[in-house]
Structure 1
Amino acid sequence: MRETTDDPSVVTSALETLAAAPRLLVALDFDGTLAPFADDPATVGALPGSWAAVLTLQRATDTEVVLVSGRPLDSLARVSHAPDEMALVGSHGVEWRVDGHDEAALTDDERERVARVGTALDEVGARFPGVVIEHKPAGHGVHTRRVSAEVAAEADAAASRAAHEADPDVLERGGKDILEFAVRHVTKGDAIDRLRDLRGAAAVFFAGDDVTDEDAFRVLRDGDVGVKVGEGDTAAGYRVADPAALTDVLKQLARLRATRA
């Protein structure tokens, strides 16, 4: 892991350099990053200050904001209220809404695999009250936020066994109170690389809070800025305590980007 700092003066210096990039990609996770967590994922919303900064960045010259989330694309669009012109990437890089076009190109075989794994996980969910199985276009999530740590561990183990029995090639990913299973082996890192090339970005800002965001932090290059939101080991160069602290970072970046020479 690279050395990570939470020194505000160091973060500000990095943002000042980043803001001078001729073309900037601002990629942001949603849950736990722009929005605090909630027991009901359908009720979350971005913090007003963060969202105002996001919209300011979206309007800045030679700057593009993309929300990059593990949520399904339709769920991300619904809870974020992102304007139509804002690019969205859902399901950890499987689903894309870029330039107004939706993309979720699963093959027939992949759809069959998704259905198989979903049936197996539904059977697990029925055995553990309080555990929620979320069905996504390219996989499924096992949510354990509402149960004890002991029950969560038992449910995750059962889900892992069931999913791999249903599909030995399924990709398993752990997160905060969620275990995910996907049929396509793509990550947020793959999404950042593709977005960088697609937009011709000279530099990238990425902020995220979860284990799955580490894939994105690891593909950042010299001159990019990665901000880890919250605790935990990280490949990001910078850290803030929580989504509220990220608001200040986004406001700084928006102001610097909007007023650059």
Structure 2
Amino acid sequence: MTLTIEEIAQTRNFLLVSDFDGTIAGFSKDPYSVPINQKSLKAVKDLSQQAATDVVILSGRHLEGLKQVLDLGQYRITMVGSHGSEDSSRPRTLSQDEETRLARIEADLEKIVEDIDGAFVEIKPFHRVLHFIRVSDKATIQGILAQAAELDTSGLKVTNGKNIVEYSISSTTKGSWLKDFVSRTDPTGVIFIGDDTTDEHGFEALADNPRALTIKVGSGDTAAKSRVDSVDDVGILLEKLAYHRMQYVENARLGH
């Protein structure tokens, strides 16, 4: 049986984990000027101030880039970037071999995009990302993808997302990060929300957890237990969650 928002809000130790792009923010051709849903933003801020409540933003963006678009430094919210590879509480560095592999794929990708307006390569600490959201011609996009498919990607994990292809040196996924975090913190109730293919790892990781509610944003096949249609619907859902959680914390006197 799938838990309702009201039911999962009424738990001793609650954890909310949300993706950013496509979940609490819409998309834009300028990745540093995306429309953030204000209901979602207020809800995560309100939730972060409740006792026995943890809030995590788990994004594919690199950590510094995430902080640029979502400044929540004054709130008790954990920011995790690069699909879990960049956790500010557990930093790690690249080996020389990993740096070499990333440099090689970066050079190969730059050759693909050098003469294509709107296509570019994003550099993250553990990833290189081929972007083509600004490319309007479908034939050009198909050409980009065809060239990318022929690259030597040995030692790298390749993920196709929305208007991107990502090349990662890290084996960490949102699923492996979630499993580890849930194991360490042992929440009695969990919600994970996301919209993209990379979020499916998280849905799968929590599939057998009876205390977890996983929510897919948008259409398409999914391992999530529930679904909403849009970023606006996420805002409504999180607003409802924050209300019920605040009521429960107050009535149960969890902060006392």
Which TM-score applies when normalising by structure 2?
A: 0.90
Q: Partners of 1:169 and 1:92 in 2: how far apart?
A: 18
The match for 2:84 among 77, 85, 93 is 93
Equivalent position SS for 2:11: coil
The match for 1:19 among 2, 6, 9 is 9
More displaced stretch, 150-159 vs 132-141: 150-159
**Matching of residues 177-192 of structure 1 within 5 Å:** 177-192=163-178
More displaced stretch, 250-259 vs 195-204: 195-204
Determine whether 1:242 maps to 2:233: no
The match for 2:43 among 53, 78, 83 is 53
Flag the 1:160–1:139 CA change in 2: closer, same or farther, 3 A: farther
Q: Deviations over 1:200-251 (max 9, x none)?
A: 2122101111111100011111121111111111111111111011111001
Q: Partners of 2:101 and 2:94 in 1: how far apart?
A: 10
Amino acid at match of 2:7: T
Q: Partners of 2:62 and 2:103 in 1: how far apart?
A: 16
Q: Partners of 2:66 and 2:88 in 1: how far apart?
A: 11
Equivalent position SS for 1:120: helix
The match for 1:119 among 104, 107, 122 is 107
Q: Deviations over 1:80-127 (max 9, x none)?
A: 1122542111111110123xxx62432222122211211111111114
Equivalent position SS for 1:60: coil
Structure-1 residue corresponding to 2:33: 43
Contact in 2 for aligned 1:118/1:139 (Cα 8 Å) = no
Structure-1 residue corresponding to 2:183: 197
Determine whether 1:154 maps to 2:143: yes
Structure 1 segments, 4+ long, off by >6 Å, are none
Give the deviation of 1:33 after TM superposition: 0.4
Q: Structure 2 stretches of 5 or more lacking a match?
A: none
Q: Deviations over 1:50-93 (max 9, x none)?
A: 10000011111111111101000000111011225421111111
Contact in 2 for aligned 1:142/1:156 (Cα 8 Å) = no
More displaced stretch, 152-161 vs 246-255: 152-161
Contact in 2 for aligned 1:134/1:142 (Cα 8 Å) = yes
Determine whether 1:232 maps to 2:236: no
Structure-2 residue corresponding to 1:209: 195
Determine whether 1:172 maps to 2:163: no
> Cα RMSD over matched residues?
1.7
Q: Structure 1 stretches of 5 or more lacking a match?
A: 1-9
Give the deviation of 1:198 after TM superposition: 2.6
Percent sequence identity over aligned pairs: 33
Give the deviation of 1:45 after TM superposition: 4.2
Amino acid at match of 2:66: L
The match for 2:120 among 132, 143, 161 is 132
Structure-2 residue corresponding to 1:5: none
- Report the count of equivalent residues: 245
Q: Partners of 1:232 and 1:149 in 2: how far apart?
A: 21
Q: Partners of 1:115 and 1:139 in 2: how far apart?
A: 10
Equivalent position SS for 1:174: strand
